[in-house]
Amino acid sequence: MLGLRLRHLWLVWTAVGVQVMRQTDPAWAAIALRPLRGLWPVVVIWLLATAFAVSNLRALPAMLLLALGFTLNSLATAANGGMPFWVPAARLAGISNEVIGRQRLGHPPLTPHSSMHLLADVIPLPGLHRVLSIGDVAMLGALGWLLAALVLAGRKPTTEKNRDDCHDPPQA
């Protein structure tokens, strides 16, 4: 059993549920999703994710980096009504013009009128057909740190006493 325990995972699952509802935009949820230009779900997701990260800071300092990443993404999303992406970066990532031209809920193209250009999806990943933001990079770094912590939490430190226990007893 791994020694690392994350607290309040329900916060993450609730945030995922709000994000799924935001992305699918069901008609029955319009009354909750549309006020404030659709901003409130972004704020709710940010609050839930921040609460999760803060509640786990003692267990894993990487949560601070995770909180920074989704705070940056939430700022860009809130300021633009969705996470804007840079069209030339999408093309460099290998995303077709047909896909780029499709209007996707929550992902408008970056324009001169967009806010917070540096926080938008501007980093192309050609082999993966994705475009990332600085916030995404921070979150990926935090997830890498989390995975490393999980692996290391499962290992027992080697001491002189238990190192000797690892060898077969001498034959008489």
pTM for this model (two decimals)? 0.74
Binning pLDDT at 50, 70 and 90, where does residue 169 land? low
Q: At what angle do helices 39-55 and 9-24 cross, to 10 degrees?
A: 160
- Confidence (pLDDT) at 10: 94
pLDDT in tens, 24-76: 777 777 777 776 666 788 888 889 989 998 898 876 778 899 999 989 999 99
- Tell me how far apart the alpha carbons of residues 51 and 18 are, in angstroms, rounded to a whole number: 15
Domain map (residue ranges) of the chain: 9-153
Q: At what angle do helices 62-80 and 134-153 cross, to 10 degrees?
A: 160
Q: Residue 27 class from Cβ within 10 Å (0-12 exposed, 13-18 middle, 19+ buried)?
A: exposed
- Cβ contacts of residue 42 below 8 Å, gap of 6+? 22, 74, 77, 78
pLDDT surpasses 70 at 170: no
* Mean of the per-residue pLDDT values of the chain: 83
Q: How many C-beta atoms surround the C-beta of residue 28 within 10 A?
A: 8
